[in-house]
């Protein structure tokens, strides 16, 4: 996923993508070590092409140690904070038991738009505090593929965070996306559902 702010470009978990498509990247953020979130060859290619920072959880950091220059590689844990230019990145916990040291990311742009990327996380109680403290405008909710993930679990994430917009993602096919949208409209009608199309750009007001 690519996030473009007024001044910076950040990429979260680039996998199954053409690294040559990335011409200007300021930071790559890795949530955990699973193959569909961390492809070391793709991260290496993007970093070499753009000179960007690479920010990673401890397990992914170790996997990238011989791939990314040391001065461009940053290890983070829940509670870590860093700036990419004037973009603020806050690291939070993640409830994804199959991963060793997974994290989630709060990304706040220069103009105050906050996006919460929850990686493969299932709901966890501290998400309520995250929503109250940081008031994300957009939250990405996994609705499939990851163990335990489902449209219902994704809706629970949205209800805990209470963003303006909830984006279901990380699934196969469209049925889980449609189910998420249906449940969300019924249980949290105040939250807008945005089902994204791959390769299409979206603007957050």
Question: Could you tell me the CATH superfamily of domain 1-92?
Answer: Ribonuclease Z/Hydroxyacylglutathione hydrolase-like (3.60.15.10)
Q: Tell me how crowded residue 22 is: count the other CB atoms within 10 A of its CB.
A: 20
Q: Yes or no: is domain 122-197 CATH 3.30.450?
A: no
Sorted by where each begins, the domain ranges of the chain are 1-92, 122-197
Q: Is 62 left (phi over 0), alpha (psi -120 to 50) or beta?
A: alpha
Question: CB of 159 within 8 A of CB of 180?
Answer: no
Token couple for 53: 């920072």
Element (H, E) at 179: helix 175-187
Query: What Rg value do the Cα atoms of the chain yield, rounded?
Result: 16
Measured in whole angstroms, how far is the alpha carbon of residue 165 from the centre of its chain?
A: 14
Helix (H, G, I), strand (E, B) or coil at 87: strand
The sign of the dihedral angle between the CA atoms of 113, 97, 145, 149 is: negative
- Residues 3 and 75: their CA atoms lie apart, in Å, by 20
List the chain pLDDT tens, one digit each, 205 residues.
Answer: 999 999 999 999 999 999 999 999 999 999 999 999 999 999 999 999 999 999 999 999 999 999 999 999 999 999 999 999 999 999 999 999 999 999 999 999 999 999 999 999 999 999 999 999 999 999 999 999 999 999 999 999 999 999 999 999 999 889 999 999 999 999 999 999 999 988 888 998 7
Question: CB of 94 within 8 A of CB of 104?
Answer: yes
- Residues 46 and 42: their CA atoms lie apart, in Å, by 6
Q: What are the strands, taking DSSP E only, across the chain?
A: 2-4, 9-12, 27-30, 53-56, 73-75, 81-84, 87-92, 104-108, 114-117, 138-142, 165-169, 192-193
Helix (H, G, I), strand (E, B) or coil at 73: strand
Q: What is the pLDDT of residues 49-80, one digit of tens each?
A: 999 999 999 999 999 999 999 999 999 999 99
């Amino acid at each position: 996923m690519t996030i473009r702010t007024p001044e910076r470009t950040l990429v979260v978990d680039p996998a199954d993508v053409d690294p040559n498509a990335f011409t200007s990247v300021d930071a790559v953020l890795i949530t955990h070590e699973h193959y569909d979130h961390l492809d070391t060859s793709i991260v290496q290619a993007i970093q070499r092409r753009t000179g960007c920072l690479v920010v990673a959880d401890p397990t992914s950091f170790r996997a990238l140690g011989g791939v990314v220059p040391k001065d461009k590689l940053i290890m983070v844990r829940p509670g870590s904070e860093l700036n990419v230019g004037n973009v603020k990145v806050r690291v939070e916990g993640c409830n994804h038991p199959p991963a060793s040291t997974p994290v989630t990311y709060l990304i706040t742009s220069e103009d105050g738009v906050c996006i919460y990327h929850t990686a493969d996380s299932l709901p966890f109680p501290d998400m309520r505090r995250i929503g109250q403290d940081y008031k994300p405008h957009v939250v990405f909710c996994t609705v499939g593929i990851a163990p335990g993930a489902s449209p219902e679990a994704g809706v629970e994430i949205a209800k805990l965070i209470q963003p303006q917009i909830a984006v279901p993602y990380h699934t196969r096919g469209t049925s889980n996306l449609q189910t998420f949208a249906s449940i969300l409209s019924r249980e949290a009608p105040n939250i807008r559902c945005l089902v994204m199309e791959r390769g299409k750009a979206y603007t957050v007001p």
